[in-house]
Structure 1
């Protein structure tokens, strides 16, 4: 039996970080060796998992893959840590700058890298459908409406921008609308409209567990692979 994949969870104090810790604890094929949060932890070890502040990242034990759901301000540090240790990086942090995305592309020459705005299998399929619809419906209006919980900071969401990029690849010019309300996990509607008709492609998430589970799946699939840039759809 292969040894469990060693994971570092970066952004462990957030909602996604907590879901990742909970789901990993239920699996035998991975082991969280470090949970890193922006603030100093109130407990150093929780359920057998060592916890670190972001400033202590350099003192974390060795890991095979880092799963990052943090904020742009903390992204550079985890990417540097992965490069220094030769570990792969799976990131769902949104709101990254152009320079940070460029740094990810460069890192792909040295380590395995996967960045995705959304780790749902359904959204991976939705992106493909949007690209096909934009190709088949030239000249139609394209609007993307996304809804998330009131605490989400970036708008449009990273998933909305990724769906928009898929539409743009086939010539559409997407427009965006964002709603921040209550505890909505995530909803995305891509609408193509012409005179007298409208096509709607939608995805609604009912639980963050689908994103956390997808990120864990990606991390396990990425472990041990040669350096390179990967897409979620290629690992499913």
Structure 2
């Protein structure tokens, strides 16, 4: 039986992860780390805590779906803790500091980071890399829309899709990426552009377009419910249990 610990259980996706764990065999909820009381009950045998040591002692794999600031605190706590708990991190908008902390902790524990826990997006990233390579003259435009409360833009998923396209083109992303068409003006050859929209309660929509003269190809992923991210996080945690220390990507689940 794999005991899961949840960091950030009061958030939208965190709540869904807690509620969904019961539908998986061989998995149970250990502890949930929150700074305030939850407004719903937990399964029997699990509990709420605001103590990192107690959290780590109560789980075999940790899932983090919180905020940039909270993830920063978690990674510092993991770095100083004696435990080596595998960790699935789905927080977006992380800085170089957080990724450096992640790399450091991954020297002694398995860490899976994904800006989007959707299994469909993982497949889409593989596909757009191939298309970008096979259509070298196509203009690549990525559009994404999320709910009104999303804090980071472009989304972590849009950036990961852009990275896949840049990899297919064998170009450094920072060299070709455009996120402000107003300042940039006319499109230059080889550019890769992202446009971000925010509104309503959209769980997530990402479209990668390859535009040629006379034709274009658009590949779109729609998340109709945040439950898809919760399910993906649990499946990642199950897959990560027992893995050797290093950084993993969700793509490796399909290798």
Is the pair's TM-score, using the shorter chain for normalization, greater than 0.5?
A: yes
Q: Residues of 2 paired with 1:140 and 1:93: CA distance?
A: 32
Deviations 1:52-91 (A, max 9, x none): 24xx323334321110011110112322444421100101
Distance 1:42 1:8, change over 3 A: closer
Contact 1:44 1:52 (C-alpha < 8 Å) held by counterparts: no
Q: Match for 1:140 among 127, 130, 138? A: 138
Aligned to 1:173: 191
Aligned to 2:36: 40
Contact 2:76 2:101 (C-alpha < 8 Å) held by counterparts: no
Q: Residues of 1 paired with 2:197 and 2:245: CA distance?
A: 38
Q: Does 1:52 align with 2:49?
A: yes
Gaps (5+ residues) in structure 1? Answer: none
Q: Match for 2:24 among 16, 24, 27? A: 27
Please, which moves more after superposition, 148-157 or 59-68?
59-68
SS of corresponding position for 2:29: strand
Bigger RCO of structures 1 and 2 (CA < 8 A, at least 6 apart): 2
Contact 2:144 2:197 (C-alpha < 8 Å) held by counterparts: yes
Aligned to 1:234: 252
Aligned to 1:89: 87
SS of corresponding position for 1:164: helix
What is the total number of aligned residue pairs between the two structures? 230
Q: TM-score scaled by structure 2? A: 0.84
Q: Residues of 1 paired with 2:59 and 2:40: CA distance?
A: 18
Contact 2:78 2:105 (C-alpha < 8 Å) held by counterparts: no
Q: Residues of 2 paired with 1:194 and 1:57: CA distance?
A: 53
Q: Residues of 1 paired with 2:223 and 2:42: CA distance?
A: 29
Offset at residue 206 of structure 1 (A): 1.1
After TM superposition, where is structure 1 displaced by more than 4 Å over at least 4 residues in a row? 42-45
Q: Match for 2:101 among 80, 94, 103? A: 103
1:1-236 aligned within 5 A: 4-37=1-34, 39-41=35-37, 46-48=42-44, 49-53=46-50, 56-60=51-55, 61-83=57-79, 84=81, 85-171=83-169, 173-236=191-254
Offset at residue 43 of structure 1 (A): 7.1
Distance 1:107 1:232, change over 3 A: same
Q: TM-score scaled by structure 1? A: 0.91
Gaps (5+ residues) in structure 2? Answer: 170-189
Q: Residues of 1 paired with 2:121 and 2:43: CA distance?
A: 32
